[in-house]
């Protein structure tokens, strides 16, 4: 209860301060009333959705939108509030000076009036994150991007020179609310005509039933060498309440079965060989392994126990912290690891080939895209779906296409 009271008090103080910028620039009483009505509605809806909320009771679309609209409201108000605070850095000393030098002559009006042009500039700047977040909620979450990479390996079997794989990750089907957009994304995946499709975990938020409405969409995925998948941390059902352990285990079995019905070969600490013209590469899939309190069911040794050290290896591991802490130090050389999990935090700024930033970098060393360490590569997919915040801003849903080439990388 105390945390809710504290949150509301802090929010209202910040809101009132931001309003100083709004009323200085906007003189209409009606628009000022609308300002407060919107603030009250968004904050009220958030409190209604989250008062007494327990993540294990489930996370609905209503919860997601309550978060999304609150963020959309807070972001511009932070900018407005900071602008007023910056102005007060100058106004307060001036007011103190007038108090001690003018005394009663100022008739109590020690503070200089706020300057309208500063408030107008602040409103213009604040409109940028507001528009970006609203775009992210209504359009950005389905703004699928195909990212293509070419990776060179001197020891790649000759038959696999030019081999293409498509990676998708973090579908989170329980968050979707638009069948047609998901159909479009599946058709976009098939348009890549890759040799194999690899899914690196988190088909659902919590329950297998979330995937059922999309089963007949994802079963349209096609690749001549098949579809392969692994489990992510959300697939185990650890973040919701179950009537019993039996119900929880049944949910996981149901999810495995739905994946099988779609056409995925689910790898549970095991491997397969992809063969072509008498040559082969090893495809290894481990269960979830992550730092920071996440499940560590992945067993790299078990998954690779019948693989030769000299085999060319592609590893599927949901959480990139596994690569950082276990894989790159392993005695075996895993040429390419495919991960997801981070979502790029669904928020950031990217200028392809020039700049990449997201708050995700404060949590994960490897959070999006291709990295290389000790002669081994990892691709961290930004995710196909979304979770909690019902949108994406700057970090768009991703379909990764990687072409394997034999030889040295061209400088």
DSSP string, 37-71: HHHHHHHHHHHHHHTT--GGG---HHHHHHHHHHH
Instruction: Check whether residue 52 and residue 155 sit in a common domain.
Output: no
Q: Are 342 and 380 in contact (CB under 8 A)?
A: yes
Q: Are 299 and 317 in contact (CB under 8 A)?
A: no
Instruction: Check whether residue 201 and residue 284 sit in a common domain.
Output: yes
Instruction: Check whether residue 159 and residue 134 sit in a common domain.
Output: no
> What is the rounded CA–CA span in Å between residue 259 and residue 210?
12
Instruction: Check whether residue 201 and residue 251 sit in a common domain.
Output: yes
> What is the rounded CA–CA span in Å between residue 148 and residue 165?
10
Q: Mean pLDDT of all residues in the chain?
A: 91
Helix (H) or strand (E) holding 315: strand 313-316
Domain end marker among 99, 115, 138: 138
Instruction: Check whether residue 134 and residue 148 sit in a common domain.
Output: no
**Sequence-ordered list of residues with C-beta below 8 angstroms from that of 305, at least 6 positions apart, any chain:** none
Instruction: Check whether residue 127 and residue 170 sit in a common domain.
Output: no
- Token code pair at residue 122: 């602040």
Question: Would you say residue 64 lies in a domain?
Answer: yes
Domain end marker among 106, 122, 138: 138
Comparing 98-112, 160-174, 386-400, the range with the smallest average pLDDT is 98-112
Q: What is the pLDDT of residue 72?
A: 94
Q: Which domain holds residue 257?
A: 144-406
Q: What is the pLDDT confidence band of residue 298, given thresholds at 50, 70 and 90? A: very high
Q: Is the pLDDT of residue 390 over 90?
A: yes
Instruction: Check whether residue 176 and residue 74 sit in a common domain.
Output: no
Instruction: Check whether residue 268 and residue 130 sit in a common domain.
Output: no
Q: What is the pLDDT of residue 317?
A: 98
Instruction: Check whether residue 217 and residue 255 sit in a common domain.
Output: yes
Instruction: Check whether residue 83 and residue 18 sit in a common domain.
Output: yes
CATH number at residue 197: 3.60.21.10
Instruction: Check whether residue 123 and residue 162 sit in a common domain.
Output: no
pLDDT, tens only, 212-251: 999 999 999 999 999 999 999 999 999 999 999 999 999 9
Question: Would you say residue 411 lies in a domain?
Answer: no
pLDDT, tens only, 331-358: 999 999 999 999 999 999 998 888 999 9
Polymer length of the chain: 411
Q: What is the pTM of this model?
A: 0.90
- Token code pair at residue 96: 């103190």
Q: Is the pLDDT of residue 112 over 70?
A: no
């Amino acid at each position: 209860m105390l945390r809710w009271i504290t949150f509301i008090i802090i929010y209202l103080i910040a809101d009132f301060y931001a309003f100083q910028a709004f009323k200085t620039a906007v003189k209409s009483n009606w628009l000022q009333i609308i300002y407060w009505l919107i603030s009250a509605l968004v904050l009220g809806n958030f409190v209604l959705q989250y008062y007494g909320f327990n993540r294990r009771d489930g996370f609905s679309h209503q919860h997601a939108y309550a978060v999304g609209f609150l963020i959309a409201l807070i972001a511009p108000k932070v900018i407005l509030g900071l602008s007023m605070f910056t102005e007060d850095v100058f106004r307060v000393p001036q007011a103190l000076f007038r108090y001690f030098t003018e005394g009663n002559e100022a008739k109590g009006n020690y503070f200089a009036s706020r300057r309208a042009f500063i408030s107008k500039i602040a409103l213009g700047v604040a409109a940028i994150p507001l528009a970006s977040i609203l775009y992210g909620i209504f359009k950005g979450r389905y703004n699928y991007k195909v990212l293509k990479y070419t990776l060179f390996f001197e020891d790649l079997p000759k038959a696999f020179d030019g081999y293409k794989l498509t990676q998708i990750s973090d579908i989170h089907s329980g968050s979707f609310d638009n069948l047609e957009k998901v159909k479009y994304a599946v058709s976009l995946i098939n348009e890549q005509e890759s040799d194999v499709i690899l899914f690196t975990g988190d088909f659902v938020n919590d329950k297998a039933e979330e995937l059922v409405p999309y089963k007949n969409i994802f079963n349209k995925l096609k690749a001549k060498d098949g579809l392969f998948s692994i489990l992510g941390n959300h697939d185990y059902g650890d973040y919701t309440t179950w009537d019993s352990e039996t119900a929880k285990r049944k949910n996981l079995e149901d999810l495995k079965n739905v994946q099988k019905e779609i056409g995925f070969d689910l790898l549970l600490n095991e491997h397969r060989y992809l063969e072509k013209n008498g040559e082969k590469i090893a495809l290894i899939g481990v269960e979830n392994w992550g730092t920071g309190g996440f499940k560590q069911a992945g067993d790299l040794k078990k998954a690779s126990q019948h693989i030769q050290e000299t085999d060319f290896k592609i590893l599927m591991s949901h959480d990139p912290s596994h690569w950082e802490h276990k894989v790159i130090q392993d005695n075996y050389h895993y040429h390419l690891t495919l991960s997801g999990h981070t979502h790029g935090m669904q928020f950031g700024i990217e200028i392809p080939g020039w700049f990449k930033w997201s708050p995700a970098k404060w949590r994960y060393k490897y959070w999006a895209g291709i990295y290389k360490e000790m002669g081994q590569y990892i691709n961290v997919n930004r995710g196909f779906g979304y979770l909690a915040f019902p949108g994406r801003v700057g970090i768009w849903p991703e379909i990764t296409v990687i072409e394997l080439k034999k030889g040295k990388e061209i400088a």
